[in-house]
Amino acid sequence: MSFLIRTVSHSAEGREIVRTRRVEGERLTVGRDPACEIHLTDLAVALRHVTVERDPGRLRVAVEPGLSVELNGRKASVGTLELATGGDIVLGGHTLRFMPTAAGSDEIAVAVERTGEGEAKLDKSAERLFSLASVLPGKRGLAWLLALLVLAIGLAWPIKAYYDRRERAETFAKFHADEIWSSGSLSSAHAGLKGNCTACHVEPFEAVRDTACKTCHTKVHDHSNPYRLARARPDLGRWRRIELAFKEKFDIPPGRCVECHTEHEGPQAMPATAQRFCADCHGDLKSKLPDTKLPNAGDFGRSHPSFSPVVIAGWSGDRPQLQRLSLAARPREDSGLKFPHDLHLSGTGGVAQMARRLGGPYGFGQKLECKDCHDPTPDGARFQPVDMEQDCAMCHDLAFDRSGGTTRTLRHGEPAQVVAELLDFYRGRGAARPAVLAPAARRRPGDAPDLRNRIRFERGPGSADRAIRSIFSPGGACFDCHRVESPPDGGGSLNFRIRPVAFPIRYLHKGWFDHRPHATQSCSSCHSAERSGAASDLLIPDVTSCRTCHGGEGSSKPVPSSCAMCHDYHMDAGAPSMLIRQKVKGKRSDRRVAEARR
């Protein structure tokens, strides 16, 4: 009985070296102990790792307790090997291969081979091991990978999204890859267009056109005739010309909406237009457009023309003729009313006395104030036209008779009714002649020469004509405030007519003025009503008055005012967008005025 042990090793060149020896006996011990039949200098092998013992027809394999081997590819601590088929035992980095042996054979051949990792793991010549290349992927591969990845995500994907949008009108709520191209949030006004790139960017490689804007903005009017606008432009500097040449080259029409209304600049409102933007053309408009009706205008503090309010310059029949007239020409207004402001605002005299007497119920003080007659419009920006019944009648009442507890009043605004009323009154119907109205009644010294007393006094046969004529004549109730037209049929006719009265509600149509922000100021600081003796005095303050507080854009005045504070580029009906935004943001300049005054 013997084992033929063939130890297989490899030379540096890979040549196989086989050493053969014979071990007599029935048992074979394998381990790191030099006393073992098969001595393996493998630290993964125990000193006495496994014992192989011959049994008839097979080999019994017994592993040291607590250890194991791989027996024919299976982990085992005990087992058998059929001699007829042979088999493998793997322990540590070594394999024992038992060759198939004929049943009667005495000798069992075993090949011992190191199959695990080789001893010399480190190759001395491997300079590469020291380099990072041994632990990182190659730079070139990495570069290609990253570049392709970026191109795919940053370019191909969004372009695909663009064509997807064109083919299918998808909901905007869904994310589209082209949104990663957006260089910034849209303005707050256009926040609703977020993610809807193709609303403005219609064609690829075509700069945004005004047609895209006009699909929604159908009512914005041009600042002016585009040809005149083009002619009014200041001379192009060299840079502007270069810029224009570029634009022409790349088919970008000049003067697009987006040149001013820039987008993707963050969720902000459009900033107020800078003064320079307006002054570039308007500062010297006359030289560019000799036929323009507009005077040159630049900095508000230095070169703003006089205001040109719309005033009633005259009448065409009963229609007022409105006309824009420069305040520089000291225009007068023809409202059709007679009204001395100075008399009414005076602190002494009859009006003030009456104000004191009526006092409380009407909110009068020691004298009349502007607010006692002028009521603001609901928005507070302007004032309503004066209304006789509301604003004058508390003093100028038209009562002429008291019937029981009721005061009879002449009807204001209807002269024919007034005539009829008085005729009726004097005709004397039935018992309508109270004792107080006896002819004996006469004016008492100290009584106000009011309408009632006059009527009373003049009462008598044929006196109706006289009374009617007197109220339409100088000193009469109608005549004092109105322009009276004598009866056209002359002679004895009582067909008196009153000229109509009209007040513009807004004087400055091309600029915006709001009374509310000016509430900190007294009325008289701008309107010199206290010195006005005639209703035809136009009490609109001129630019010099405004300049007390307002200066140009860069001014040191309490309220630096660029053009945009009163004027809008596209619209002039409502409040300029700059003011609306200031109000929204709560940034008002009143405080600065108040502080400056202090």
Partner 1 sequence: MATRSIPRTDLGASHEGFLRHRRFLWLKVALILSLLALLGYALIDVQPRPNGGSAYGYALGTVAVLLILWLTLLGVRKRAMTRGRWSLKAWTSAHVYLGLSLVVVATLHTGFQFGWNVHTFAYALMILVIASGVYGIVAYARLPRQLGASRSDMTRPQMIDALVKLDRQLATAAQPLGHEEARIVQSSLDENAFGGGLWRRLSGRHSRCRTARALAEARRRLAVATGDRAQALEAVAALLERKAAALARLRGHLRIKALLEIWLYVHVPITFALLAALAAHIVSVFFYW
Sites of contact with partner 1 (CB under 8 A):
32, 41, 43-47, 49, 64, 67, 117, 119-127, 129-132, 134-136, 139, 142-151, 154-155, 158-159, 162, 178, 180-185, 197, 201, 204-208, 239, 243, 246, 252, 262, 265-266, 268, 270-271, 274
The phi, psi pair for 421, rounded to 5°, reads: -60, -45
Closest contact distance (angstroms) between CB of 207 and partner 1 is 4
**Nearer to partner 1 by C-beta: 200 or 297?**
200
CB of 164 to partner 1, least distance (A): 14
User: Closest separation between CB of residue 245 and partner 1, Å?
Assistant: 11
Nearer to partner 1, 270 or 313 (CB): 270
Tokens of 244: 């224009």
Q: Least distance to partner 1 from the beta carbon of 125, Å?
A: 7
Smallest separation (angstroms) from partner 1 to the CB of 29: 14
Phi and psi at 324, nearest 5°, equal -80, 120
256-289 burial, b at 16+ Cβ within 10 Å, e below that, comes to: bbeeeeebeeeeeebebbebeebbebbbebeeeb
Q: Taking the complex as a whole, how short is the minimal distance between the CB of residue 119 and partner 1, in angstroms?
A: 7
Place of tokens 């002429």: 400
In the complex with partner 1, the residue whose CB is nearer, 247 or 332, is 247
Amino acid at 270: M
Could you tell me the smallest distance in angstroms from the CB atom of residue 248 to partner 1? 14
Please give the helix or strand (H or E) that residue 112 lies within, else none: strand 107-114
In terms of CB distance, is 39 or 97 closer to partner 1?
Answer: 39
Least distance between partner 1 and beta carbon 126 (Å):
8
Please, what is the minimum distance in Å from the beta carbon of residue 165 to partner 1? 12
Q: Which CB sits closer to partner 1, 93 or 541?
A: 93
Least separation in angstroms between residue 588's CB and partner 1 is 22
Nearer to partner 1, 147 or 191 (CB): 147
Closest approach, Cβ 560 to partner 1, in A, equals 17
Token digits of residue 270: 């459009």
DSSP states along 31-87: ESSTTSSEE---TTS-TT-EEEEEETTEEEEEEPTT--EEETTEEESEEEEETTT-E
Work out how close the CB of 158 gets to partner 1 at its nearest, in angstroms, rounded to a whole number: 7
Specify the long-range contacts of residues 409-416, CB closer than 8 Å, at least 24 apart.
Answer: 410/451, 410/471, 410/477, 412/388, 413/388, 413/498, 415/472, 415/478, 415/496, 415/497, 415/498, 416/495
470 vs 562 by CB, closer to partner 1: 562
Report long-range pairs for 368-377 (Cβ below 8 Å, ≥24 apart): 368/344, 369/345, 370/345, 370/523, 370/524, 370/527, 370/529, 373/344, 376/515, 377/505
**Residues in Cβ contact with 356 at an 8 Å cutoff, skipping those fewer than 6 apart:** 364, 366, 367
- For residues 189 and 208, which CB has a smaller minimum distance to partner 1 in the complex? 208
Q: Which residue, 40 or 232, is less far from partner 1 as judged by CB?
A: 40
Q: What is the DSSP letter of 2?
A: E
553 Cβ neighbours under 8 A, 6+ residues apart: 274, 275, 276, 299, 300, 560, 561, 562, 563
Between 147 and 534, CB nearer to partner 1: 147
Minimum distance from CB of 47 to partner 1 (Å)?
6
CB distance 29 to 51 below 8 Å: yes
Determine the Cα–Cα distance for residues 397 and 406; give it in Å rounded to an integer. 14
Residue 98, beta-bridge partner list:
87, 110
Helix (H, G, I), strand (E, B) or coil at 573: coil
d(CA 113, CA 10): 9
CA 374 from centroid of its chain's CA atoms? 36
- Nearest approach in angstroms of CB 189 to partner 1 is 13
> Which of residues 1 and 150 has its CB atom nearest to partner 1 in the complex?
150
Which is nearer to partner 1, 47 or 594 (by Cβ)?
47
What is the 8-class DSSP label of residue 525? G
Rounded CA-CA distance 355/374 in Å is: 15
261: which 2 tokens? 């209304």
Check residue 534 and report its DSSP letter: S
- Nearest to partner 1 of 107, 210 (CB atom): 210
Of 49 and 452, the one with the shorter C-beta distance to partner 1 is 49
Residue keyed to tokens 């080789």: 118
Query: Rounded CA gap, 296 and 590, in Å?
Result: 29
- Residue closer to partner 1, measured from CB, 252 or 343: 252
| Half-sphere exposure at residue 470, Cβ-oriented, CA atoms within 13 angstroms | 17
Shortest distance, position 184 Cβ to partner 1, whole Å: 6
Reported as type and span, the H/E element at residue 8 is strand 2-10
Q: Which run of H or of E encompasses 90? A: strand 87-91
